[in-house]
Amino acid sequence: VKLHHCQGARSFRPLWCLEEMRLVYELELMPFPPRFAVPGYLDLNPFGTVPTFTDGDVLMTESTGICAYLVGRYGPTPLAVAPEEQDYGRYLNWLYQSDATMTFPQTIVLRYTRLEPEARRLPQAAADYTQWFFSRLKAAAKLLGDGEFVAADRFTIADIAFGYALRLAETLRLGAFPENVAGYWQRLQARDGYRRAVERETSAA
């Protein structure tokens, strides 16, 4: 399997999953944004975004969807929660909300504080979407409670999905996390799989 990745981008989710599962893979690290920076990239992925993941004829472009593919196709693994398990719904909810609710507002902040040229920056949009993120994070903190992981009392790809949203917020220096979320994020970063993913990303860079 092959993963196209840019440093710090959402493609870190499948990279982390590949490392947690100890699968063999090829990593292509590209400059950001690849749609402009990598000639021909749009022919591979018409969205021009990262990740792009290929497995033979399979082409995928959604970071959390790729994690779900990996645990389904290359499992069984405790990283997946099965439909028979009590926390299946909770697991799916965290999987989806981690990108749609917890990552999306941050991309607006990123764009209008850093990626756009000075003249097109929008401090008000950045401030509003930072606030949007923190009100969602407050709700997420309530759902997490004093749990060690987000679902099923074990580390799963739902933690990878949510963990990346926290990684991005930290990179963007959006502000302090609620205490239980801060402790949770520390625990995730102490994992061997997380560290291997960071090392692989760093050495590829």
Contact positions vs ligand GSH (CB under 6 A): 9-10, 33, 35, 48-51, 62-64, 99
Bridge partners (DSSP) of residue 2 are 26, 54
Shorter beta-carbon distance to ligand GSH: residue 131 or 171 = 171
Residue 159 C-beta: closest distance to ligand GSH, Å: 16
Torsion-angle region of residue 56: left (phi > 0), alpha (psi -120 to 50) or beta? left
Shorter beta-carbon distance to ligand GSH: residue 80 or 160 = 160
The one-letter amino acid code at 185 reads W
Residue 52: partners with Cβ closer than 8 Å, 6 or more residues away: 3, 4, 11, 41, 44, 45, 59, 60, 61
Residue 77 C-beta: closest distance to ligand GSH, Å: 21
Residue 62 C-beta: closest distance to ligand GSH, Å: 5
Residue 147 C-beta: closest distance to ligand GSH, Å: 24
- CB–CB of 164/63 below 8 Å? yes
Shorter beta-carbon distance to ligand GSH: residue 31 or 183 = 31
Residue 84 C-beta: closest distance to ligand GSH, Å: 27
Shorter beta-carbon distance to ligand GSH: residue 35 or 191 = 35
Residue nearest to ligand GSH (CB): 49
Cα separation, 129 vs 106, in Å, equals 7
Shorter beta-carbon distance to ligand GSH: residue 15 or 50 = 50
Please give the biggest Cα pair distance in the chain.
53
